[in-house]
Amino acid sequence: MAIKNPKVTVVGAGNVGATTAQRLIEKNVCDVLLVDIVDGIPQGKALDLMEARPVELHDRKIFGSSTYDATKDSDVVVITAGIARKPGMSRDDLLKTNAGIVGGVTLEVVKHSPNAIIIVVSNPLDVMTHLAWLKSKLPKEKVFGMAGVLDAARMRFFIAEALNVSAEDVQAMVLGGHGDQMVPIARYSTVSGIPITELLPLQKINEINERTKNGGIEIVNYLKTGSAFYAPASSTATMVEAIVQDRKRVLPVATCLSGQYGLKDVFVGVPVVLGQKGIEQIIELKLAPEELEALQKSANAVKENVAKLTELALV
């Protein structure tokens, strides 16, 4: 059953946060509270989006605030706060700065909304999601990260482009950490149910896999002073929609595993059923030995960065 009159808060009024809010209200998913510590920014962007309502023909509301008091009793909180990557900077380079930001935001969120579902978008994604889970003390199914939906969307676009077909008919599966060691799975990537292994030569599939892995930095290199935000915002809005409307969507999400794929107590991207309660089921795919090895290698890289949090006394 869908959440009646859901309260959704987006923390961080930068490009990702503001665009996520825009996607949600213009898709008529829910009203949104946009929060940012810089006073005036969330209020101004909220007003700008409200003034677009007569043109976009919807009646959803968006509010702006620079305090966390307004977030009280949120059903879903999306954390986008943090600095973005710059050219030459890996997601892991963001670790120390963004850990301080995300940790502080999480404590404020749960103080005002102890029963909220938290979606983490800040990078490095898997580590920040782990940190938010530790700080929040919420059940694992209520804290997870947006990564796989974005990575799969990029792969879907590259497949559609290569085959000159509608992206609507393309599905893709990307597992693992949201970084250079993510694991695109060609066998589970399809066009109207046809595996791409039957439609594309191996060399092209390998090219698509590599471009998927480097999808974020490719955009960073173009922008020079920022990182991707349109596709991340769309991906995040899809997850929020699945939760507040109890859609039971099967989506790849960064979640904490408890033995699946031979992994435990580590946040990595795997397919889950997403609904009103958050993660309602973790789906364990049958992977080939080399695919499982790649996933476990990716998870170990995430664990190494989580260990850095302890070394830096950030948890």
Q: What CATH number does domain 148-311 carry, 2.170.190.11, 3.30.200.20, 3.90.110.10, 3.40.50.300? A: 3.90.110.10
The reply to whether omega before 114 is within 30° of 0 (cis) is: no
Residue 315 pLDDT class (50, 70, 90 cuts): low
Average pLDDT of the residues in 136-154? 97
Distances (CA, A) of 30 to 16, 128, 229: 17, 26, 20
pLDDT tens-digit readout, 37-78: 999 999 999 999 999 999 999 999 999 999 999 999 999 999
* 77-81, 108-112, 225-229, 231-235: the lowest-pLDDT one: 225-229
Residue spans of the domains in the chain: they are 8-145, 148-311
* 10-24, 93-107, 171-185, 281-295: the lowest-pLDDT one: 93-107
Residue 180 pLDDT class (50, 70, 90 cuts): confident
Indicate whether 6 pLDDT > 90: yes
Amino acid at 175: L
**Cα separation of 172 and 114, whole Å?**
34
Indicate whether 117 pLDDT > 90: yes
**Cα separation of 5 and 1, whole Å?**
12
pLDDT in the model for residue 91: 57
Residue 204 neighbours by CB under 8 Å, 6+ apart: 162
Residue 21 neighbours by CB under 8 Å, 6+ apart: 10, 32, 34, 45, 46, 49, 62
Catalytic residues: 178
pLDDT in the model for residue 85: 65
Distances (CA, A) of 186 to 52, 60, 213: 41, 39, 13
Residue 90 pLDDT class (50, 70, 90 cuts): low
- Select from 314, 146, 132 the least CA-distant residue to 236: 146
Architecture of domain 8-145: 3-Layer(aba) Sandwich (3.40)
